[in-house]
Structure 1
């Protein structure tokens, strides 16, 4: 950019597959130099991150720009005028207004600007400000984690749920796992553990009852079916918040799916509302803590020792029925932790499996 020139309508165009710090630097630079800015997100049908997700991420990160999307399945060939014409037809349909300046970090920026009848502004073409690319992120998101913004991290985070019957060590295991991965250092030092909101909710219900009846105990607390969607929704919100600000793996002390089983435990029936919340979840692995070999401890919010075998069996049945990837943790704590770490490492080793974008013809 030269001499403080300011433009009316600027355009930034890209795949943002996925968006990273280099993209955001480009957009912010363009926004500073334009009265208004349009960001055009172009996605090919073969790509594994939906266009709608990329548009939503860019809108959140750049609320002061107009972000629009377009499906572009035209092959890439920077030397073929007919291919350029086909791309421009898509671009013009998505951005019909006149463009004064096109901002890119790519060699094709000059031709893109010419075809829009706009100035071409090149921003950090050597990637010195943010040495990252979409190709690098797709190849190894963990290595590029620091270049990703919150909504993208949330989408890529591998979410591991620890669940089980009462007093089977779920909280102990979730905290131990988070500590284990934090100790690996680097990006893993940000590993988070999402607490069980149902416990906080239960404490609130007991406190409210004792405010009316000072001698009331846990056995006097009454749950209603409407309580469980509230618990599940808040649990999901806490999980999402943590995923936006953590490492590539997140540990959850229960989830909305587990809340559906707790509804059965207390109410005796399924909860469609809770199930709908669970169906929207983005978890990847469930670690079920077996009740066998774990002493029941009454901490003042438990009364279901006799139900633990039923709950363990019910968790297993429903985890299998819904196709959730499950590992059962048995034995003493050290053995359970080793089994859990091996399962999580296996999940992480599988990678993220982005499909390749359309190849560029040369």
Structure 2
């Protein structure tokens, strides 16, 4: 039997870390119903409301989640024919925040709570204000005030997300992993480069799904395979992002699949065209500046030059900045690291 009918947890959750999850999880076990409210003004980089909502719903699917910024709050007010309100700033007095949360519960969610869960000393005052606004007792439950169970803070995580990745659930950390995409014609070294950079960074890499699918189909692809390949490539990126370390190394993108769809079939599915616009934090184009290697799956050497020229046009048309990688593998890895703002890893051989 739950100790409380309805519990409440309020926080910025910028980002949602395991300390927050400890409090929310404890509240979920103690309450028949749990409300989780998140707002911050100003916002923090990388922690937009949509992300915070996705994190909370993913980790606590049974909870009632309300994540707000001023625009979202305005929509909520309009939908309920309520006077327009704005979020209080983070530096507003405590009582302003407490009465605002009480209003959110009654005006937007249509309910009150009988327990509020925090890991802070201010929780007693918070509960007292809620009790006054609701007209019934509200108990404060303090969880791990000493931060001994999960020694972490949002400030520390924001200062260096990657150093504190162990304090984040994979679904949260994945949103802070940036994507480096490697493009290039057949036998231009993009797969080797994607794997090499991941190894140099101690990170993960996403193999080219199109090649895997081509092999599974014995080289006989049909038009519908193109969209399937693009979707699976994106799915692999999303799945492997949490295994990355600051950067995820991606061997090709849906832009590659768009090229093959147009080249093989003279057309492309509208969804594939949209997926080909998928943004990356860094794009590298591998130059065809070493001997062509025929592994039994590739087309003739001139096709490699055709691909390279197509990528140059496609990237320019989309106003996507990119870095050309030339020379031997060590030079390419060092050039990529330089472009990512990282120190050299593989030194040029004398």
The question of a shared fold, defined as TM-score above 0.5 by the shorter chain, is answered with yes
Alpha-carbon distance in structure 2 between the residues aligned to 1:130 and 1:299: 52
The answer on 1:12 being equivalent to 2:9 is: yes
Alpha-carbon distance in structure 1 between the residues aligned to 2:225 and 2:39: 43
Deviation at 1:268, TM superposition (A): 3.9
Superposition RMSD in Å: 2.3
> Cα–Cα, structure 1 residues 324 and 47, in superposed 2: closer, same or farther, change >3 Å?
same
Aligned counterpart, 2:201: 181
Alpha-carbon distance in structure 1 between the residues aligned to 2:308 and 2:269: 19
The 5 A counterparts of 1:109-128 are 109-117=123-131, 118-128=138-148
Asked which structure has the greater RCO (Cα within 8 Å, sep 6+), the reply is 1
Alpha-carbon distance in structure 2 between the residues aligned to 1:83 and 1:20: 22
> Cα–Cα, structure 1 residues 170 and 77, in superposed 2: closer, same or farther, change >3 Å?
closer
Q: Give 3-state SS (helix, strand or coil) of 2:243's partner.
A: coil
Pick from 157, 162, 166: which aligns with 2:186? 166
Aligned counterpart, 1:187: none
> Cα–Cα, structure 1 residues 82 and 38, in superposed 2: closer, same or farther, change >3 Å?
closer
Pick from 281, 304, 307: which aligns with 1:308? 304
> Cα–Cα, structure 1 residues 274 and 135, in superposed 2: closer, same or farther, change >3 Å?
same
The answer on 1:325 being equivalent to 2:321 is: yes
The 5 A counterparts of 1:1-362 are 6-44=3-41, 46-48=43-45, 49-71=47-69, 73-77=87-91, 79=93, 81-82=95-96, 84-117=98-131, 118-182=138-202, 191-206=203-218, 218=219, 221=220, 223-269=221-267, 271-279=269-277, 281-292=278-289, 294-346=290-342
> Cα–Cα, structure 1 residues 6 and 78, in superposed 2: closer, same or farther, change >3 Å?
farther
Instruction: Deviation per CA, 1:7-53: give whole Å up to 9, x if none.
Output: 22111111111101111111111112222222112243644432122
> Cα–Cα, structure 1 residues 310 and 245, in superposed 2: closer, same or farther, change >3 Å?
same
Alpha-carbon distance in structure 2 between the residues aligned to 1:304 and 1:93: 68
> Cα–Cα, structure 1 residues 123 and 163, in superposed 2: closer, same or farther, change >3 Å?
same
Q: Is the 8 A contact 1:193 1:251 kept in 2?
A: yes
Q: Give 3-state SS (helix, strand or coil) of 1:136's partner.
A: helix
Q: Is the 8 A contact 1:7 1:35 kept in 2?
A: yes
TM-score (norm 1): 0.81
TM-score (norm 2): 0.84
> Cα–Cα, structure 1 residues 70 and 273, in superposed 2: closer, same or farther, change >3 Å?
closer
> Cα–Cα, structure 1 residues 81 and 340, in superposed 2: closer, same or farther, change >3 Å?
closer
Instruction: Deviation per CA, 1:144-184: give whole Å up to 9, x if none.
Output: 111111221221101111110001111111111111112xx
